[in-house]
Amino acid sequence: MTTFELTPVGVGSADTGAACCSPLVTEPMDAARAEQLASSFKALADPTRLRLLSIVAKSEGEEACVCDLIEPVGLSQPTVSHHLKILATAGFLERSKRGTWAYYKLVPGALDRMSQLLADG
Amino acid sequence: MTTFELTPVGVGSADTGAACCSPLVTEPMDAARAEQLASSFKALADPTRLRLLSIVAKSEGEEACVCDLIEPVGLSQPTVSHHLKILATAGFLERSKRGTWAYYKLVPGALDRMSQLLADG
């Protein structure tokens, strides 16, 4: 399993401000910004998390119950929940609880912000 | 240092075909594709590598000598070379040797392909 630091990187939050969307290629990046972005990429640097994200993204309302994510990726519920938590901490998914199960929804714009960052300036 | 698998992922090569650019959000991703993409994100999931990429991208001709990358990131030449090699193996940079020094150039379209992948479908 990938070593992972659970530091909030706020790709989906307002606190990153305008700097959040500066393309990687328009200016040399300072160390603090690079640390923050590397954390976001770490959240995406795992095949299970990429599959979970793509399944959630294709689900109705871009939201899925943990209970519906276990079978498609073929892993245990605790493992799936662990990966979903990393994606939520990184700002790609938001979690809500209804009854017994947790639901995860794609944070609007979070993937797009990462996309813009990599686009040619 | 991040644990890193040096598997070629071919973001900048033709062998990935049309699948290279399918947005993450348009269809559930199979396990093989997810492994490949996770490797690309691993290459980006390090602050030094992000800084090196952004410096190369801003250099004349989107190319820089290793000798000019050491001071901006404040690391030793072997460490800088190690990170550049990871970026080259992942298909983001291409390496050429002239005289004593190695030069690294941004692979045209490689970052854009990752960008398109994350864009909303």
- Among candidate residues A46, A45, A65, the one with its CA nearest the CA of residue A55: A65
Q: Using an 8 Å Cβ cutoff, are B95 and B88 in contact?
A: yes
With beta carbons under 8 A apart, name residues in chain B contacting A51.
28-29, 31, 34
In Å, what is the CA distance from B32 to each residue of A50, A69, B36, B37, B89?
Answer: 11, 18, 6, 9, 18
Note the CATH architecture for domain B47-121: Orthogonal Bundle (1.10)
Question: Domain-by-domain residue ranges, chain B?
Answer: 47-121
ipTM over the 0.90 cut-off: no
Which H/E stretch holds residue B96? Answer: strand B93-98
CATH (one of 3.40.47.10, 3.90.190.10, 3.20.20.70, 1.10.10.10) for A30-118: 1.10.10.10
Poorest-pLDDT segment among A59-63, B9-13, B101-105: B9-13
| C-alpha–C-alpha distance, residues B90 and A36, integer Å | 21
Interface of B with A (CB under 8 A): 2-3, 24-29, 31, 34-35, 37-39, 41-42, 44-51, 53-55, 57-58, 72, 106, 111-112, 114-120
Tens of each residue's pLDDT in chain A, 121 residues = 333 333 344 444 434 433 445 567 666 788 888 999 999 999 999 999 999 999 999 999 999 999 999 999 999 999 999 999 999 999 999 999 999 999 999 999 999 999 988 886 5
Please report the number of interchain residue pairs, chain A to chain B, with beta-carbon separation below 8 angstroms.
121
